[in-house]
Structure 1
Amino acid sequence: MNTSGRNIIIRRPSFNVFHRHNRIISLALLRQFSTSLRRSDATTADMKDSTNDSIESKTFSKKRPLTYQERKLIESMIRVDHAGELGANYIYKGQMAILGKDKKVGHVIQEMWDQEKVHLRTFDEIIPRYRVRPTLLRPLWETAGFVLGAGTALMGKEAAMACTEAVETVIGEHYNDQLRELIKIDNEETTELREVIKKFRDDELHHLETSVDYDAQKAPLYGPLSAIIHAGCKAAIWVTTRL
């Protein structure tokens, strides 16, 4: 009962508040897994130095042929990663078409795009080396990427950065999932791929942090926009594993 005669207004947390909170938790988990992997690598290196005999025998066991299921899994990983880097390139291409001359974010977008170009070239080389069929949906991902990049850039600098944040969050999580699978396989044939994915995962997380620093979460309709892009990226990954 209100004895003071004044109305009491209870404000509910907005969708954006919940979404930002979840994104912060997600980023923290990504960082935690990245750190644990580095610690694991350092521990492995120390073990190799101190127990050469046992490592030699273990290395020999890792030279076993990959099973059919393992090869199909790796082929799917490479196909999806190649398509993802292709889409990312076209997202940044679309953003640069609109914001390339912007004094605040133009150079930032260009720097991130330059890294994505390196990622794409690397997977362009990995595809034939592992005899992987590229995605059949390349024209779709090129068009969708450019439209997404240019469309969010037209909404403003903050929306463009919100797009980057959402995309890189999904890619970072996706790369972490792949690293877990490669660690389980634990085969010498996957060493190069694992190192590539680790490096690119760290680059994507850096892009994610950069987008937050450049006001991604101040974008208009930040919550719904991020959720839609996040869901779209997840759907694209699911489709590309099959096509």
Structure 2
Amino acid sequence: MFRAGSRCMVELPMATHLIAQRRAFQTENLASDTFTKATHDRAARTSKALRFIQALDPVDRKAVASMLRVDHSGEIAANTIYEAQADVFGYRGQIPTKNLVLDMWENEKKHLQAASTMLDDYRTRPSALVPVWALAGRVLGGFTALLGEKSAMACTEAVETAIGEHYDDQLQHLSEIQQKLAKTYTGEQMKELEESLDLLRNVLVEFRDDELEHLDTAVEHDSQQAPAHALLSAVVEYGCKGAIEIAKRI
């Protein structure tokens, strides 16, 4: 499996038949179900989320809000990237490739639903630049799809590499927050705070692993054989990292 930050250049066999394979990405019985299923008690969950936020010091409260805002922005962009790619491949009659993109898009739709609900639960505002992220995703997705299947996969590889690293950074920050809370709270209060932390952590792990699965899928489908792969990857990756920093603040 290829993972975030990897730039392994193992020679992959030309396997056109792989493009026709549908990938079954898991979308049920996951941590994000807590934020997407009506069967979960939203009032109780929101109350816990607010108590968790109130227990944080101002710096960590701002950091968690920033995490949620960035993740929501990223899911907006991811959805429009895959939507644009699916549109282009559908228009061109490249149905197997369109179906592959649609499979990955299904993951991102659930991510976006969960991320939107989490913003509400934690009383966090979305990025003021949501329309910009949506437009940027659509332009990037459409442009790379027009360049061809391998370039579209190279786009996925680069985006998911940056996002995978970003989720790892967030998970590390949550671990640091937990250590700080443990110095202040004990007993039942700490137990409840840890439950909220664990839920947030499990959702981020789920999102990260899905993104890395998309990365692996892109590599399996010849992303590294795209024309000007290194240049395209660098531009997309640095663009993603820049967008992350902007969404943290705006």
Flag whether TM exceeds 0.5 (same fold).
yes
> What is residue 80 of structure 1 aligned with on the other side?
70
Question: TM-score, normalising length from structure 2?
Answer: 0.71
Write the distance in 2 (CA, Å) between the matches of 1:69 and 1:238.
17
> What is residue 149 of structure 2 aligned with on the other side?
157
After the TM superposition, which segments of 4 or more aligned residues of structure 1 sit over 4 Å from their partners? Answer: none
1:126 is paired with a residue whose SS is helix
Deviation at 1:63, TM superposition (A): 11
Select which of 204, 215, 223 maps to 1:208: 215
The C-alpha deviation readout for 1:172-218, integer Å capped at 9, x for no partner, is: 00001100110111152322111100011110000000000001011
Closer, same or farther: CA 63–193 of 1 in aligned 2, 3 Å? closer
Deviation at 1:22, TM superposition (A): 5.6
Closer, same or farther: CA 63–141 of 1 in aligned 2, 3 Å? closer
Question: TM-score, normalising length from structure 1?
Answer: 0.74
Instruction: Give structure 2 stretches of 5+ with no counterpart.
Output: 10-51, 179-192
1:222 aligns with 2:229: yes
> What is residue 118 of structure 2 aligned with on the other side?
126
> What is residue 8 of structure 2 aligned with on the other side?
24
Deviation at 1:104, TM superposition (A): 3.4
Deviation at 1:23, TM superposition (A): 1.5
Superposition CA RMSD, Å: 1.9
Closer, same or farther: CA 212–63 of 1 in aligned 2, 3 Å? closer
Residues 144 and 151 of structure 2 are in contact (CA less than 8 Å); yes or no, is this contact kept in structure 1? yes
> What is residue 107 of structure 1 aligned with on the other side?
99
> What is residue 136 of structure 2 aligned with on the other side?
144
Select which of 169, 172, 194 maps to 2:164: 172
Closer, same or farther: CA 120–22 of 1 in aligned 2, 3 Å? closer
Q: Alignment identity in percent?
A: 47
Amino acid at match of 2:74: G
Amino acid at match of 1:224: L
The C-alpha deviation readout for 1:23-71, integer Å capped at 9, x for no partner, is: 239xxxxxxxxxxxxxxxxxxxxxxxxxxxxxxxxxxxx9992111111
Residues 76 and 112 of structure 2 are in contact (CA less than 8 Å); yes or no, is this contact kept in structure 1? yes
Residues 53 and 61 of structure 2 are in contact (CA less than 8 Å); yes or no, is this contact kept in structure 1? no
